[in-house]
Structure 1
Amino acid sequence: MIATLKSVLSASLLVPLAVTAATAQQNAISDNVVRIGVLTDMSGVYSDLAGKGAVEAVKMAAEDFGGTILGKPIDVIFADHQNKPDIGSATARQWFDTGGVDLIADLSNSAVALSVATLAKDQKRHIIVNGSSNMGITNQVCSPYAVHYAYDAYSLAHGTGKAVVEQGGDSWFFLTVDFAFGIGLEQQVSEVVRASGGRVIGAARHPLNTTDFSSFVLQAQASKAKIVGIASTGGDAINAIKAAAEFGITKDQSLAALLLWINDVHALGLDTAQGLLLTNAWYWDMNEETRSFAKRYFDRVGNMPNMSQAADYSSTMHYLKAVQAAGTDEPDAVSAKMREMPINDFFAKNGKIRVDGRMVHDMYLWRVKTPSESKYPWDYLKLVNTIPAERAFQPLDQSKCYLVNKS
């Protein structure tokens, strides 16, 4: 009888504890939903590099996670920032203030990414940058809530820029898109060129999404520089490379594409793009894991994924795993888990998010194949060199991030 009474009392005490635990888990997710907003270029010069493909990559991650987390739904929304920082920051503010957005993903424009990073720091909300290169994300506007995941200007400069100088390309002229991305990339590559014993002759800066490169290409041609560095990407890089070919610039000078994507190679064709060196974090045809993801993605989007779109999936999955491990979507708890947990998936092996928000991983230098080397659709790149994680990104002792303790 006494034993039975003890059992009844024990069971009665466990009931409220179980209810409390269940209630705590339900309340662990703010607004009863984990909402991810993909803020990207849906209609402009970078829409092929991000856009619909970025949205689908994030949706794939949410679906593969199971569609729910800690018993609550995962919701993915998106908006077009139109490559305008004011529109991007206004959208982000509305999402944070009244839209219940926990994470903003992609951010495929450096000026937009910088403005949203400042807002995220103030609002204590998460952003993951995959479509921008500006170093300010992990330096001047760094915070515990901002992660720079796929690549940045440092990794591009120390990949393509350094390799070209080592091959004898020791004098440079830049064709630079005139906003934060292009200027930052030009500065990073210029530092690498000078540190390697080369010289920078000058630069011609063109507007975003321009179609007439004639005057800019003529300036590059007149410079007599051995290397013309294309400090732009997407449609701008495609148009610059086409214009350079039309003006015959490649007869006496060489082009260095500082941020070229597989989409750009596809648009240019191998006849025009062959031989170009480029630094990318990821390529769809690297191994069985990358090909498996790429096939699923291709079936949904109709194009092979680029490094940013693959990183959109990987980083979204990492965020969701961190929420699950933390048992809450509370930003500080999730930030701690994101930096604690390693990243091992089809995108990166032994990846790690540092205190400044930089995700460090191996980068790769590629050469665009000749038409005769390409054996099947989207077979465009040949590996030249692997850049180890510890050399691919800015050392912490050079960081300007307030979170880095240099003592």
Structure 2
Amino acid sequence: MRFKTLLLAASSLALVAGAAKAQEISNDVVKIGILNDQSGVYADFGGQWSVEAARMAVEDYGGTVLGKPIEIVSADHQNKADIASNTAREWYDVQNVDAIMELTTSSVALAVQGLSREKEKITITTGAATTELTGAQCSPYGFHWVYDTHALAVGTGGALVKAGGDSWFFLTADYAFGYSLEEQTGNFVKENGGEVLGAVRHPLGTTDFSSFLLQAQSSGAKVIGLANAGLDTANAIKGAAEFGIVQSGQQLAGLLFTLAEVHGLGLEAAQGLNLTEGWYWDQSDENREFATKFEEKTQRKPNMVQAGTYSAVMQYLKAVEAAGTDATAEVAAKLHELPVEDVFAKGGTVQENGRMVYDMYLFQVKAPGESEGPWDYYTEVAQVPGGEAFLTVEESGCDVASFAN
């Protein structure tokens, strides 16, 4: 009888503890916002496809966490920091969004991460490149998940110089991301014994690269580094093909170009392009299985940004589960603590400054005759260990001591 009484008491305590744990989910729903460019130059880079990747993650997680539903909301920030900040503020203050992810465009990501630190909310950036996110403008609640300008510079810049591409000229997008990518790649070129012959900056979203390409061509540089992204890079490559730049012996280096943009451009124009990505669909059976499922929903293969967004959502949900709550400080602590082991990253770790460290890859785009079909576009040239690809906390410039304040 006494044993039965104790058992009932233990069961009651377990039920109370379970109910208390379930109540730790604010507003009875875990709500994640995907904020990115869905109509501009980066619409294929992440866009609606990142939203679909986030929904896949929720579906694969089971649709609930700690017994509460998971909801994805999304919006187009149009590559404007003010629109992004206003959207994020409304999401936090009115819609009770718990975390914001993707954040294509560095200016947008920095603005939203800054607001999120003020609001004590989590951001996981998968679509922007600036190292400032985990550097001087780091946040205890900010995480950088997929790539950054340092990793791209190491992967593409360092490898090409070692292969003989020791003189560079840059075509650079005229905003923070472009400047950072040009600077960091240029530094790697020079550290490896190469030289930078010059650079020219172009407006975001320009369609005529003629004058910029002529300057690059006349420089005589062995490598023309495209320090831009999305349609800007695609239009620059199209222009280079028209001028016969590659045929005349110069190489093009797409410092931020993904599978989505290669597909849109076509192998005829993109062949021979060197680029760095953190993930490719045809690297393993697990990747191929994920890509097939993604393609069934979207009619396209995922690039690193979309696969990385899937990973970020999954890891956030794992952190909520591990923390037993969606409270920001507790979830952030788990995001720093938990290893990242999923279809996107193997053996990934999260530094104190929020930088997720994992291996990157240098690829070369195949010639049309080498491809066995749609989306078969890359030949892997080199693997770049995460410890080389990303800055350490000490190198980053992040004042992690301030996180305790």
TM-score (normalizing by structure 2): 0.96
1:154-303 correspondence runs (5 A) = 154-250=150-246, 251-303=248-300
- Alignment of 1:25 with 2:15, yes or no, is no
Amino acid at match of 2:252: L
Shift of 1:11: 6.1
Aligned with residue 341 of structure 1, among 335, 338, 342: 338
Alignment match of 1:126 (pick from 114, 122, 136) = 122
Return the offset for 1:404: 6.4
Aligned-partner SS, 1:348: coil
Distance of aligned partners of 1:346 and 1:8 in 2 relative to their CA distance in 1, 3 Å threshold = closer
Which residue number in structure 2 is paired with residue 59 of structure 1?
Answer: 55
Between 281-290 and 22-31, report the one with greater CA deviation. 22-31
Closer, same or farther: CA 247–97 of 1 in aligned 2, 3 Å:
same
Matched with 1:384 is 381
> Contact (CA 8 Å) 2:364, 2:380: kept in 1 or not?
yes
Q: Counterpart of 1:131 in 2: which secondary structure?
A: coil
Distance, in Å, in 2 between the alignment partners of 1:279 and 1:183 is: 18
Distance 1:180 1:49 in 2: 18
How far apart are the structure 2 equivalents of 1:62 and 1:129?
Answer: 18
1:146 and 1:153 map into 2 onto residues whose CA distance is: 17
What amino acid sits opposite 2:26 in the alignment? S
Secondary structure of the 1:212 match is coil
Q: Distance in 1 between matches of 2:183 and 2:110?
A: 17
Which letter does structure 1 place at the counterpart of 2:71?
Answer: D
Write the letter of the residue equivalent to 1:107.
Answer: L
What amino acid is aligned across from residue 55 of structure 2 in structure 1?
K
Aligned 8 A contact 2:131 2:396 in 1: no
In terms of Rg, which structure is larger? 1
SS at match of 1:255: strand
Once the 2 structures are TM-superposed, how far is the Cα of residue 392 of structure 1 from its aligned partner? 1.2
In structure 1, C-alpha distance between the alignment counterparts of 2:119 and 2:365, rounded to whole Å: 43
Report deviation, 1:397.
2.5
Q: Is the deviation greater in 281-290 or in 386-395?
A: 386-395
Aligned to 1:358: 355
CA distance in 2, matches of 1:382, 1:167: 16
1:355–1:404 Cα contact (<8 Å) kept: no
Structure 1 residue 8: deviation in Å?
7.0
CA contact (8 A) 2:172 2:179 kept: yes
Partner Cα distance (2:269, 2:9) in 1: 75
Moved more, 288-297 or 142-151: 142-151
Q: Could you give the per-residue CA deviations for residues 58-105 of structure 1, whole angstroms, max 9, x where no partner exists?
A: 000011111111111101000000000000111111111221111111
Contact 1:396 1:404 in 2 (8 A): no
Confirm or deny: 8 A CA contact 1:356 1:404 kept in the other structure.
no
Q: Distance in 1 between matches of 2:137 and 2:95?
A: 23
Cα deviation code 1:9-67 (max 9, x no counterpart)? 54675576345323312321011110000001111110111111000000000111111
- Provide, for residues 332-371 of structure 1, a one-character-per-residue CA deviation record: whole Å limited to 9, x for no partner: 1111111211111111110011111010001111111112
Q: Distance in 1 between matches of 2:98 and 2:27?
A: 10
Unaligned runs of 5+ in 1: none
- How far apart are 1:7 and its partner, in Å? 5.4
After superposition, where does 1:85-164 map in structure 2 within 5 Å?
Answer: 85-164=81-160
* Distance in 1 separating the partners of 2:377 and 2:105: 25
* Residue-by-residue CA offset, 1:106-162 (whole Å, 9 max, x unaligned): 111111001111111111111111111111110012112111111110110001001
Counterpart amino acid of 2:189? V
The 1:193/1:14 distance shift into structure 2, 3 A limit, reads same
Q: Distance in 1 between matches of 2:255 and 2:135?
A: 21
> Relative to structure 2, which stretch is displaced further, 175-184 or 292-301?
175-184
Match of residue 84 from structure 1: 80
Matched, 1:73 2:69: yes
Query: Which amino acid in the other structure matches residue 313 of structure 1?
Result: Y
Distance 1:287 1:11, change over 3 A: closer
Q: In the alignment, what sits opposite 2:371?
A: 374
SS for the counterpart of 2:124 is: strand
Runs of 4+ aligned structure 1 residues displaced above 6 Å come to none
Structure 1 SS opposite 2:370: coil
Q: Is 281-290 or 334-343 further displaced after alignment?
A: 334-343
- Distance in 2, matches of 1:12 and 1:262, equals 58
- Is this contact kept in 2: 1:297–1:305, CA < 8 A? yes
Output the CA distance in 1 between the equivalents of 2:263 and 2:172.
22
The letter for the 2-side match of 1:223 is: S
